[in-house]
Amino acid sequence: MAARYDVRDKVVLITGGSRGIGADAARRLAKLGAQVSVVGLEPELLREVAEGIGERAAWFEADVTEVGALNRAVDATAER
């Protein structure tokens, strides 16, 4: 049986959060009480995912293969 972790009030940054597994993970984690930050290359889709989740979500456009862009997304997530 899989272990369950308490994510209430934890901050989770999800790369590839604009669709598929990333978007689904963001939705599920938010329902469990996490604050989620969805990060990726498609700002329109990221915004839709975050808006669909509500105030527990933020989104940031970043190419995760670029360290500077990823660091900015992490910093913006922490600031929020």
> Interior CA angle at 15 toward 70 and 29, to 5°?
130
Tokens (6 digits) for 73: 């997304």
Residue 68's pLDDT is what? Answer: 97
Residue 5's pLDDT is what? Answer: 80
How many Cα atoms occupy the beta-carbon half-sphere of 41 within 13 Å? Answer: 4
Summarised one tens digit per residue, pLDDT across range 20-77 is 999 999 999 999 999 999 999 999 999 999 999 999 999 999 999 999 999 999 999 9
Whose CA is closest to 36, among 16, 61, 10, 18? 10
Summarised one tens digit per residue, pLDDT across range 1-25 is 555 789 998 999 999 999 999 999 9
Sheet containing 57-61, strands listed edge to edge, beginning at the edge strand earlier in sequence: 11-15, 35-40, 57-61
